[in-house]
């Protein structure tokens, strides 16, 4: 992907856009493509003329957001650390214990995810519900790095949740009948995922790049994002105290899936609290997976270093991403 110099923002969009930079690919010769009528051409502006609009030729429209917390991201995980709950990839309303295995929150639903995710193979972890209280609720499950952390698990296309009050499964904010009953305080929930050859379906992540000497996150606007192709034979199942509640989701989109939790209570109520167990010693490891591949514990997921890809000037002076 080639990154063209950012279009200058208008006065109206400067305040709204903050420090974000919008870029799009250009030709190797650096020639700008002709504008299309209606403002949707590759050189056209947005609604206020500040940023390039979607390209009629299908070029990606990317937003570069300054990685102001890059040091915090890098310190979130390390090769010598086990799998933990992320201090960075969570809502600011989520509270973690010092061991980073217990999460709690109050008021509206918010999400926290683990430091490591999986894109292929079969994996398993547990969550114990420590406290719900009179108004507490949880939605637990799997979410990719595209899931919105300010929403419950299963709110969008990038999460698959398991609901406490009625045992429903949740995806794209749609609740479907799943288990015969819900779960509550003291219950231990098991979370299974199988992604056969999932690495072939994982989208390429253009996350961090170096642009003009500064680190940036590469983001694609939600309206431009495409749901990855499904992984054939993939499956998610949930367990309650070691008993399988049935197959919840099949042929899920490719991606890197992280253990995730979201909690809720009414205002002025004690926190809703859950505790994660990434293994290898589980409280209720299932004895029967119904013919599905036997999973590995999430504690066995290897560490992946956070890399920043370099930006170098092309021969025509246009910044081009290099690895």
Report for 15-24, 44-53, 77-86, 218-227: range of highest mean pLDDT: 77-86
C-alpha 288 chain-centroid distance = 29
Residue with tokens 């009179």: 134
Whether residue 250 has pLDDT greater than 50: yes
Predicted confidence band at 281 (pLDDT cuts at 50, 70, 90)? very high
pLDDT tens-digit readout, 284-311: 999 999 999 999 999 999 998 877 776 5
For 24-114, strand residue ranges (E) read 62-66, 85-90, 95-96, 102-105, 110-114
Q: Determine whether 79 is exposed, middle or buried from the number of CB atoms within 10 Å of its CB (0-12, 13-18, 19+).
A: exposed
Q: Which fold has domain 84-196+231-300?
A: Jelly Rolls (2.60.120)
Three-state secondary-structure class, residue 317: coil
What is the average pLDDT across 7-27? 48
Query: Looking at residue 206, what is its pLDDT?
Result: 63
What is the average pLDDT across 110-121? 97
Whether residue 124 has pLDDT greater than 80: yes
Provide, rounded to the nearest whole percent, the portion of the chain with pLDDT above 90. 61
For 132-271, strand residue ranges (E) read 137-144, 159-163, 169-171, 174-176, 188-195, 208-211, 214-219, 235-240, 243-250, 257-264
Residues 246 and 254: their CA atoms lie apart, in Å, by 21
Query: Looking at residue 195, what is its pLDDT?
Result: 98
Predicted confidence band at 209 (pLDDT cuts at 50, 70, 90)? confident
Q: How many other C-beta atoms lie within 10 A of the C-beta of residue 195?
A: 26
Residues 132 and 151: their CA atoms lie apart, in Å, by 18
**Domain ranges within the chain, ordered by starting residue:** 1-77+204-227+303-323, 84-196+231-300
Q: Which is more confident, 248 or 45?
A: 248
Predicted confidence band at 226 (pLDDT cuts at 50, 70, 90)? confident
Q: Which residues contact 201 (CB under 8 A, 6 or more apart)?
A: 195, 228, 229, 230, 231, 253, 254, 255
What is the average pLDDT across 221-247? 92
What is the average pLDDT across 180-196? 98
- Take residue 169 and report the two structure tokens written for it: 């499964």
Query: Looking at residue 307, what is its pLDDT?
Result: 73
């Amino acid at each position: 992907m080639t990154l063209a110099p950012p279009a200058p923002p208008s006065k109206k969009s400067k305040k709204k856009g903050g420090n974000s930079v919008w870029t799009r690919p250009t030709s190797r010769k650096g020639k700008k493509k002709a504008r299309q009528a209606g403002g949707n051409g590759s050189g056209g502006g947005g609604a206020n003329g500040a940023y390039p609009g979607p390209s009629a030729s299908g070029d990606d429209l990317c937003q570069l957001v300054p990685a102001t917390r890059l040091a915090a991201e890098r310190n979130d995980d390390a090769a010598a650390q086990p799998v933990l709950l992320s201090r960075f990839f969570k809502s600011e309303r989520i509270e973690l214990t010092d061991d980073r295995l217990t999460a709690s929150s109050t008021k509206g639903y918010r999400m926290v995810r683990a430091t490591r995710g999986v894109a292929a193979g079969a994996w398993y972890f547990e969550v114990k519900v420590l406290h719900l209280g009179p108004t507490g609720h949880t939605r637990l499950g799997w979410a990719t790095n595209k899931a919105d952390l300010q929403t419950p698990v299963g709110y969008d296309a990038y999460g698959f949740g398991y609901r406490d009050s009625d045992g429903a499964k949740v995806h794209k904010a749609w609740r479907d009948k799943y288990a015969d009953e819900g779960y509550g305080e003291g219950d231990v929930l098991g979370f299974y995922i199988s992604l056969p050859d999932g690495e072939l379906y994982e989208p390429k992540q253009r996350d961090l790049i170096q642009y003009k000497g500064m680190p940036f996150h590469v983001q694609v606007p939600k309206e431009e994002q495409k749901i990855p192709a499904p992984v054939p034979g993939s499956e998610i199942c949930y367990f309650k105290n070691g008993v399988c509640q049935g197959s919840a989701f099949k042929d899920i989109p490719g991606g890197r899936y992280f253990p995730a939790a979201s909690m809720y209570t009414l205002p002025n109520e004690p926190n809703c609290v859950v505790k994660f167990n990434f293994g290898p010693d589980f409280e209720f490891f299932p004895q029967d997976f119904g013919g599905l591949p036997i999973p590995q514990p999430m504690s066995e997921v290897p560490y992946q270093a956070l890399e920043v890809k370099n930006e170098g000037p092309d021969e025509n002076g246009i910044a081009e991403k290099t690895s």
